């Protein structure tokens, strides 16, 4: 059955390495017959959660920006792909800003399937741990979340270098797994 797939690309670089992996994953998921939408966080305005908890009283965030629209799409999706470059051994602040803002729908973002696409300049793959912990911590907060697969591309730094690696095929193959 066709799934609704939402790809959230947090690379600030259009055509950056994790952004490229998003396109490969999207191509694979489309080939497998799914309905795919990709969002680039860099095109949206998403402010930081200030921990005011107004949302718990009113159901609405006090910050007026694009976050709610993206979160609405996350709520509608069956599959959510979280893509990020590793910056200082964590996911990008841009993606973390969106994750924190999902508190507005807490705890209703349930039963989603998740895939991760990460890129990192470092060649030591152990250094993905901080970013994976951040993503897994997010899933831990929402009941029924399931991590279904990931591509962690190490040793890619300059824009576009991921193109010459095995991670391109891996991202496409992972996308094709979505059913």
Partner 1 sequence: MKMVVMTGSPRPKGTTNRLADEFIKGATEAGHEVFRFNCATAKVHPCVGCNHCGFGAGPCVFQDDFAKVLAPKLQGADAVVLCGSTYYFALNPQLASAISRFYCINNAITGERKAVLITACGDEGEWITDGIEKTHEGILKFMRWTDAGRVIARGFQSAAEVASSPFVKAEFGTSVEVERFGEKIPHTRASYHVTFLVKVDASKRVAELAA
* Residues making contact with partner 1 (CB under 8 A): 11-13, 16, 42, 48-51, 85, 87-94, 96-97, 99-100, 102, 122, 127, 129-134, 136-138, 140-141, 159
Parallel, antiparallel or unpaired: strands 4-9 and 35-40: parallel
| CB closer to partner 1, 79 vs 120 | 120
Write down the least CB distance from residue 94 to partner 1, Å.
Answer: 6
| CB closer to partner 1, 62 vs 169 | 62
| CB closer to partner 1, 16 vs 28 | 16
Q: How far is CA 173 from the centre of its chain?
A: 17
CB 6, CB 74: distance < 8 Å: yes
Write down the least CB distance from residue 90 to partner 1, Å.
Answer: 4
Write down the least CB distance from residue 61 to partner 1, Å.
Answer: 13
Cα–Cα distance, 5 to 73 (Å, whole number): 10
Write down the least CB distance from residue 128 to partner 1, Å.
Answer: 9
Closest CA to 151 of 78, 138, 141, 131: 131
Which residues are paired to 128 by β-bridges?
none
CA trace torsion 63, 69, 72, 77 (10° rounding): -140
| CB closer to partner 1, 108 vs 179 | 108
């Amino acid at each position: 059955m066709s799934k609704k797939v939402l790809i959230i690309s947090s690379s600030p670089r259009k055509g950056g390495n994790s952004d490229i992996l998003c396109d490969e994953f999207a191509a694979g998921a489309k080939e497998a017959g799914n309905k795919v939408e990709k969002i680039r966080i860099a095109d949206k305005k998403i402010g930081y959660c200030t921990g005011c908890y107004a949302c718990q009283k009113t159901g609405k965030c006090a910050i007026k920006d694009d976050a709610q629209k993206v979160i609405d799409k996350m709520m509608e999706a069956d599959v959510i792909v979280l893509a990020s470059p590793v910056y200082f051994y964590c996911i990008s602040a841009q993606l973390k800003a969106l994750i924190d803002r999902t508190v507005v729908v807490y705890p209703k973002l349930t039963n989603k399937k998740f895939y991760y696409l990460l890129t990192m300049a470092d060649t030591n793959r152990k250094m993905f741990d901080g970013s994976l912990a951040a993503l897994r911590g997010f899933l831990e907060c929402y009941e029924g979340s399931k991590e279904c697969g990931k591509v962690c591309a190490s040793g890619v730094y300059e824009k576009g270098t991921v193109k010459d690696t095995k991670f391109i095929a891996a991202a496409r193959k992972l996308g094709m797994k979505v059913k």
